Structure 1
């Protein structure tokens, strides 16, 4: 097998997580995979990974090498697609990570349309609320809803996020409507414990409020159900509670205050260079689907 084949085996071992799993995907025995990796390390004169047949971990040199190998293989994939006139179509398997609620509500219902337009593509959509290691865990891209800090990753904004303070009519009937931001101190405020402050923008600019309440949870969906159930006031994204606003199970409170506009929905991926067609087309699809004014806000405005 040539040197390029050794690079492909190395990348597959890293993405699969073990030599045995990579061997099954490639139709090779673990012994052959191990031999190819040793040959690659001997040629480079450095150790790329600590490994057993069940588990691997990259060395510092191996991590940097893997990031460059992925870019090389992506470039080859793009070149082959161009030559075969398939550059306009996605093919292979697209591995995507997305937040649980957002993925369920605003990605999963639209996957079928994307896959029908790209029949040679498979999609592996993993829903989890923790940030994944895109390179280390073998993801093509991740959808993140956050105020992103500087990093080595590339991010493309897909849509703005509008977050508002809401409560149920039953809660407000019992506890009253807050008139000022200071009134929140006498109300039950709901937030996951890992989001212990609300960064709000209002008439006086940016302000920070620390929500206090009896409910502690690591789940945003628990907070969502609690505010609908009348437990208290919560800061929620309109993509999450649009239906409840429409049927008045939730109403907006303190409309002069909204969450920081720096939070947005982003597609995050490892490198801008040699971006595979499957990644580019999926990002373009979501960007067009959501747009500068996402459909969940347009629908709410129409109502």
Structure 2
């Protein structure tokens, strides 16, 4: 019959080697040096060979000890990580989370989810920063940054939160004056309302068309308000367009056409181990 595997002894041996001495391993584990020495001696007795060569100044591995250490070290570390993850599942998220997001998305999509998250986890505080400027995740000390649309190359961790549907809209007054476009090509003869001047090419039904613009706002709420004021045609996310459409202040244009979807993505610094609260929040948002 095969002897039972001494998992606690394996973990103890790895700690002794990594710490470099019996005393240091004892301090790490909260055990007397005599206890560490006795357990090591029992291990070597069971193994039938010495694992460590001891001197008054240092420890060194025997050939058997070195092979044993190389085999069991990843096993011990995997077990430790599994225990951390298991404990985290039952730990209560707490602490302060610093989060950044675009203004309109933050107000209409993110904020309601944060409210329910805080109700569920009362030990968490959220420091929310809404800005349409692209903040620096690492330099700003953000736990989580949410961005909409295409992302540049970076070494940040990414987690897709979902897509944002978009709609072409204009006010009834504008359409009465300028006519309602029936094809993608007809959009080129209308005035556009942009949020950024570099977003003047719209892809509709796989066609890219340049939109002559009347005003660029730098803010999605102002873009919506400009469309309601009859200044032209706007490409709005559904969370901003749906209410004014339902109220009759905006009319959807080319409703059967397909607009490219844009993604909402959560970004994290790769160098920082996510806290339990961050992991819980991402799970909540997804």
Both structures adopt the same fold (TM-score exceeding 0.5):
yes
Match of 1:103 among 106, 113, 120: 106
Quick one: distance in 1 between partners of 2:203 and 2:106? 25
Count residues in correspondence: 206
Quick one: distance in 1 between partners of 2:268 and 2:117? 19
The Cα RMSD (Å) is 2.6
Deviation at 1:272, TM superposition (A): 8.7
Deviation at 1:259, TM superposition (A): 3.1
Quick one: distance in 2 between partners of 1:183 and 1:90? 53
Note the 1:93-132 alignment, pairs <5 A: 93-132=96-135
Judge conservation of contact 1:166–1:233 (CA < 8 Å) in 2: yes
Highest CA radius of gyration, 1 or 2? Answer: 2
Deviation at 1:173, TM superposition (A): 1.4
Which runs of no fewer than 5 residues in structure 2 stay unpaired? 1-80
Note the 1:1-303 alignment, pairs <5 A: 87-202=90-205, 206-261=206-261, 263-271=262-270, 274-287=273-286
Quick one: distance in 1 between partners of 2:227 and 2:103? 18
Quick one: distance in 1 between partners of 2:242 and 2:178? 23
Judge conservation of contact 1:164–1:258 (CA < 8 Å) in 2: no
Judge conservation of contact 1:145–1:264 (CA < 8 Å) in 2: yes
TM-score by length of 1: 0.62
Judge conservation of contact 2:200–2:213 (CA < 8 Å) in 1: no
- Please give the per-residue CA displacement for 1:173-196, whole angstroms capped at 9, x wherever unaligned: 121111122211221111123333
2:55 paired residue number: none
Deviation at 1:86, TM superposition (A): 7.7
Cα distance change, pair 258–242 in 1 and its aligned pair in 2 (3 A): same
Quick one: distance in 1 between partners of 2:193 and 2:284? 34
Deviation at 1:201, TM superposition (A): 3.5
Bigger mean CA offset, 188-197 vs 88-97: 188-197
Which runs of no fewer than 5 residues in structure 1 stay unpaired? 1-75, 288-303
TM-score by length of 2: 0.65
Judge conservation of contact 1:165–1:257 (CA < 8 Å) in 2: no
Quick one: distance in 1 between partners of 2:244 and 2:256? 20
